[in-house]
Amino acid sequence: GENVEQHPSTLSVQEGDSAVIKCTYSDSASNYFPWYKQELGKRPQLIIDIRSNVGEKKDQRIAVTLNKTAKHFSLHITETQPEDSAVYFCAASIRNGGFKTIFGAGTRLFVKA
Amino acid sequence: KAGVTQTPRYLIKTRGQQVTLSCSPISGHRSVSWYQQTPGQGLQFLFEYFSETQRNKGNFPGRFSGRQFSNSRSEMNVSTLELGDSALYLCASSLDQNSGANVLTFGAGSRLTVL
């Protein structure tokens, strides 16, 4: 079945450093790859997404890259700030008459001031 | 514009009981998906509904079921509750655009505790 693997499960960085989270998906029919941020006690919220016909997308300090051949996609956060501390989820979405979005297990990011 | 609303927010049940959770999507969103969130397991896909039809289903036992009404509101039901069903149940709605981007907007969730 469909599967999304996410690494690392925990990431600790110093404020101002960069953070990278990597994901791998199994279903080659996946065509949409969103990233969600979930702060403690809150609901997941979309922070950036990328579609299968695009290799890279950037939004201020956040960027995503997609390698369809290798079925890899990554989230890059530059100049990290304490408010970036949260759990980040990658996901792969398949359109098969309906929608099925499969999430990775999450990465808990700690940004130390 | 109101967001995705889930009720109840918190509930406690005992083993063997059943529970029904409700989700009202954003106005105009016709696709509703349900997820189970447990520590360390991320968000596990339960099912997706559109126009009162289940279009996709995850790998959960038949004790987990759902439905969608003509106004796009959705309910999920868990029967014969087990301790392992304790989790945060999240509902998400989306527009289902032909663009292929299934942008999910989540509700705050229903936290179920099974004793």
Verify whether the Cβ–Cβ distance B56 to A44 is below 8 Å.
no
Determine which of A92-96, B15-19, B56-60, B95-99 has the lowest per-residue pLDDT on average: B95-99
CB-CB neighbors (< 8 A) of A103 in chain B: 35, 42-45
From the number of C-beta atoms within 10 Å of its C-beta (0-12, 13-18, 19+), residue A62 rates as middle
β partners of residue B50: B31, B53
pLDDT one-digit tens code per residue, A21-74: 999 999 999 999 999 999 999 999 999 999 988 899 999 999 999 999 999 999
CB-CB neighbors (< 8 A) of A7 in chain B: none
